[in-house]
Structure 1
Amino acid sequence: MSATPLPSALEVRELLEGLLGRELEVATGGPMVDPGGETGALVAEFISDQMQLCALVVMDVPLAARAGASIALMPSQVSENAVGDGELTDVLLENAGEILNVMASLFNAEGAPHLRLSAVHPPKAALPNDVAGWVMAYVPRLDLECDVSGYGPGNLSVLVV
């Protein structure tokens, strides 16, 4: 069995565009999304069938709010209010969690371990020790600047641990 693959920026963009039903501009070389930053970030854990942590996706509050509003066809003002407050509503948090759940498919390649979403940690929540050490680590990772058409920008980090 081979290691969990790191998806390409194109694969991430195509998955999110298909899910959100709108264009998404993606640029590589974005900043590492830091859950310890001022507004925090959503941190999603992906585990194998053997319960081993294999991948993380870290989504900043602006992207979580904008993608969460977009997938539910909510007005962009809903996401802008959340970005301005620096806090996600329960609905935006749930919608972003659904997006992260579908993102598990990015890691499931032939010959690699099957991964599934295990947990989503909301912004500013304390991370488990086995997760916290990886979030800002220099491991195979993809740091992206994303712009959801009609909603706005945010950042996303995809890591294979």
Structure 2
Amino acid sequence: MTSDDPGSEFPLLVVAEFVFTPEGEVEFLRHRQRTLDETRGVDGCLQAVLWIRPGRRYQFSTLWRDADAVTRWVGNEFHRDVLMPGFRKWCTEGCFGEYALEKDHERARKCASCGRWTQGRPGWNERRPASCKRCDAPLEPPSDA
């Protein structure tokens, strides 16, 4: 999962949203880390992020090199055998959407050492920029990235 992958300048964004039952949320949380690990391990996955919202609402935002990478994720054994049947039992609502990035703006990250904001490309990549332009201190990505 690197921004240096060919074709990753304008990735395919897939958004999946789910609303869990109280029991379903507990069950899903048992699989949360493996879900992210399996997704990120698919050839062509550029980034996978899970957002948790009030009301047991979850949003997965995944960026893929191309549609073939999404197909590989859909065919992934864990996705097919655990998540797909699980979501049918665990959730009361769900939706998916695929979006093609038309324009990408720089991401900015504030340096903890000197306070300067440093911009980096591609903007969709949580691991960039990697260092401060002023003091060259490393800029840490989110702990879940």
TM-score, with structure 2 as normaliser: 0.28
Determine which structure has the larger helix proportion and give its number: 1
Higher relative contact order (CA 8 A, sep 6+): 1
Rg larger in structure:
2
